[in-house]
Amino acid sequence: MPTFSELLKEHYEQAPDQVIVTLLHAGQPDRPVTYRELVHGAAGYVNTYLQNGIQPGDVVLLILQHGVDLLYAYYGAVLHGAIPSIMPFLTEKLLPERYRADLAALVSVSQPAAMVTYREFEAEVRAALKPGEDSVKAVIISDQVDAPCLPQFSSFGGFGRQPQDIALLQHSSGTTGLQKGVALSHQAVINQLDNYSRAIHLSSDDVFVSWLPLYHDMGLIACWLMPILMGYPLVLMSPFDWIRAPYRLLQAISNYQGTLSWLPNFAYNFCAQKVRDRDLEGVDLSTWRIISNCSEPMRWESHQAFYERFRSLGLRSETLCTCYAMAENVFAVTQGGVDAPVVYEDIDREALQTTKVAQLALTSQNVVRMLGTGKAIQNTQIRILNTKGHLLPDRHVGEVAIHSDCMLTGYYHRPDATEKAFVNGWYLTGDFGYLVEGELYITGRKKDLIIVGGKNIYPQDLELLAYQVPGVHPGRASAFGVFNEATGTEDVVIVAEVDSHDPDEQQKIADSIRAAVTRGSAVALRYVHLVRHPWLVKTSSGKTARSANKEKFLAEMQAKGQIY
């Protein structure tokens, strides 16, 4: 089995002038990059890594935005035999102090040998380091890297790496705090690419178009490694450009005859609501073959809104597909909608909640429409397990467990977390779902994760931020997500207990909670609900019962006649 370096070398030698990536930036000409340019630029980074004492097998953290620097730095690490990991970029919504603290915590566990960033961001990176105490040998500035040059493949450390060696780290996309690094081998990634390419029937006519962040598995694997390592053109724009002007994705599909994209569920609603007719003149979406809904709970209504908005531009209903994926399996576990239309079913909501059985609804009252994620891709198996680890039959809700030939090597430097995640070789996903003749449906998340716009939000992180606000009863706050039909993603709610009766004082506390959460986590709260002690529900062990608090909150809103 080849490694990443061997695949790059093969493309470089066989098709050096093939444009493999086209970078789109608002206000700038589109920037095509050939395999020749990619490898020459990466070779400059190989030299720089060597000069800074970086060895094959060392971890390199990349804090760069979408562009040529990131392209060269990442694949330079690959050719050098280092282990690249792309990190989120600091935004204006996140306090620099919080970003540094999170980065410092991550450095302490991942122990990178180098960090690559821009000159203007160097101070932020260095502020997260502890000279003489951590593993970082060098902070490499992108404008000080050696110029692109001819590759000396025989001397590159990447060609000494074995298929079972770790190829990259993916860090989960949480909001604050230390996140586990998912270590993936060359073999696991290439197995996934082979399996998944069959599931989506990749062909020589395919063109990938994406705006997705590259620190998340959907962007990194499906829209960065797969096209470049397998030889398919990629059109890549910045997520910052997309969020400001979502029509750019549709224009790129039209201009480059794009065929493949992946989107989190919120993006369907966002595009349907924000794109204006004046930005669609001459746009043709008829080449779009697959758009896979992935990374957060999928909604049939979101698909319909997207289709109805853009069907006049040539968008076909069969283009809208589904996928269940996670970094621990490299990316895809299932794929739906390619060989047959996406399936959905109306389930009796009460039966689902009370008996944990997905019964087909007999009426149109009190139903939940479940969108199938598809069937397992090749060489991947799925089981549904009860709390005792026993196999459940079809339509019984339990924890989703998977087994495949593309599983993670482990959580990097976290053997404790790795051991907890597996039972008899099966990975426990932490998601609840059920199977129907091989079709997987996801019903919820075991770990109370909130997912907003494809981003995992850990409620305990937000609660800790709320606890720091003066006036909030110590340890008495609960964060959870409530699905918003209009936006197609979850809104974040915090319920906090306070002692003050004064409406003006309560308003100040609520505003302070909003500010603390937004600045400390880059999450915008939809609703802050202040209550008196002892409103919040706790478990017998004293932990916050988030699902119970969510139900209590919704019941109160309904009783007051407030439509959330």
Query: Hey, what are 193's tokens?
Result: 């690419």
DSSP annotation string for 396-413 = B-EEEEEEESS--SEETT
* In a domain? residue 66: no
For residue 534, cis peptide bond before it (omega within 30 degrees of 0): yes
Which pLDDT tens digit goes with each residue over 98-137?
A: 778 778 888 988 999 999 999 999 998 998 888 777 799 9
Which pLDDT tens digit goes with each residue over 299-332?
A: 899 999 999 999 999 999 999 999 999 999 999 9
* pTM for this predicted structure: 0.87
467 and 549 assigned to the same domain: yes
Which pLDDT tens digit goes with each residue over 223-280?
A: 999 999 999 999 999 999 999 999 999 999 999 999 999 999 989 999 999 999 999 9
Q: What pLDDT, on the 0 to 100 scale, is given for residue 172?
A: 62
545: Cβ contacts below 8 Å, ≥ 6 apart = 478, 537, 538, 539
511 and 439 assigned to the same domain: no
Which pLDDT tens digit goes with each residue over 280-292?
A: 999 999 999 999 9
How many domains does the chain fold into? 2
What is the span of the domain harbouring residue 379? 341-445
Distance CA 29, CA 24 (A): 7
133: Cβ contacts below 8 Å, ≥ 6 apart = none
Q: Helices marked H in 23-90 — which ranges? A: 35-51, 68-80
> Does the pLDDT value for residue 67 go beyond 60?
yes
419 and 498 assigned to the same domain: no
Which pLDDT tens digit goes with each residue over 374-404?
A: 999 999 999 999 989 999 999 999 999 999 9
DSSP annotation string for 126-191 = HHT--TTTSS--EEEEGGGSPPP----GGG-GGGG--TTSEEEEEE---SSS---EEEEEHHHHHH
The CATH number of the domain holding residue 424 is 2.30.38.10
Query: Hey, what are 21's tokens?
Result: 């990536």
> Does the pLDDT value for residue 564 go beyond 60?
no
The CATH number of the domain holding residue 531 is 3.30.300.30
345 and 413 assigned to the same domain: yes
Which pLDDT tens digit goes with each residue over 68-83?
A: 999 999 999 999 999 9
480 and 544 assigned to the same domain: yes
Instruction: With beta carbons less than 8 A apart as the criterion, state whether 468 and 475 touch.
Output: no
Give the least confident one: 18-32, 119-133, 291-305, 430-444: 119-133
Q: What pLDDT, on the 0 to 100 scale, is given for residue 456?
A: 64
Q: What pLDDT, on the 0 to 100 scale, is given for residue 540?
A: 47
> Does the pLDDT value for residue 534 go beyond 70?
yes
Q: What pLDDT, on the 0 to 100 scale, is given for residue 192?
A: 98
Number of CB atoms found within 10 A of residue 152's CB: 11
Instruction: With beta carbons less than 8 A apart as the criterion, state whether 87 and 117 touch.
Output: no
Q: What pLDDT, on the 0 to 100 scale, is given for residue 364?
A: 82
DSSP annotation string for 345-378 = EEEEHHHHHHH-B-PBPSSSSSEEEEEP--EEPT
Residues 480-497, mean pLDDT to the nearest whole number? 92
399: Cβ contacts below 8 Å, ≥ 6 apart = 384, 385, 386, 387, 428, 429, 430, 431, 432, 446
428: Cβ contacts below 8 Å, ≥ 6 apart = 385, 399, 401, 421, 422
Q: Which of 330, 430, 428, 319 is nearest to 377 (CA)?
A: 330
* In a domain? residue 533: yes
* In a domain? residue 475: yes
- Average pLDDT over the chain reads 92
411 and 485 assigned to the same domain: no
Q: In what order do the strands lie in the sheet with 489-498?
A: 472-484, 489-498, 525-531
Q: End of a domain among 401, 423, 445?
A: 445
* In a domain? residue 406: yes
Query: Hey, what are 309's tokens?
Result: 């908005």
Q: What pLDDT, on the 0 to 100 scale, is given for residue 178?
A: 46
Distance CA 31, CA 118 (A): 19
Number of CB atoms found within 10 A of residue 224's CB: 23
Q: What pLDDT, on the 0 to 100 scale, is given for residue 174?
A: 46
* In a domain? residue 530: yes
Distance CA 60, CA 116 (A): 7
Question: If pLDDT is split at 50, 70 and 90, which confidence band does 530 have?
Answer: very high
Q: Are strands 59-62 and 83-86 parallel, antiparallel or unpaired?
A: parallel
> Does the pLDDT value for residue 461 go beyond 80?
no
Q: Output phi, psi for 176, to 5 deg.
A: -140, 165
Which residue type occupies 170? Q
Percent of the chain with pLDDT strictly greater than 90: 75
350 and 418 assigned to the same domain: yes
Question: If pLDDT is split at 50, 70 and 90, which confidence band does 537 have?
Answer: confident
471 and 545 assigned to the same domain: yes
Distance CA 262, CA 321 (A): 9
Question: If pLDDT is split at 50, 70 and 90, which confidence band does 513 have?
Answer: very high
Residues 169-196, mean pLDDT to the nearest whole number? 82
* In a domain? residue 52: no
Q: What pLDDT, on the 0 to 100 scale, is given for residue 489?
A: 87
Number of CB atoms found within 10 A of residue 17's CB: 8
Given its phi and psi angles, is residue 290 left (phi above 0), alpha (psi -120 to 50 degrees) or beta?
A: beta
Distance CA 473, CA 388 (A): 37
Number of CB atoms found within 10 A of residue 531's CB: 18
> Does the pLDDT value for residue 177 go beyond 70?
no
Residue 200's alpha-carbon distances to 225, 259, 340, in angstroms, are 16, 11, 12
Q: End of a domain among 445, 471, 490?
A: 445
Which residue type occupies 164? Q
439 and 346 assigned to the same domain: yes
* In a domain? residue 430: yes
Q: End of a domain among 423, 445, 467?
A: 445
**Stated length of the chain:** 564
* In a domain? residue 291: no
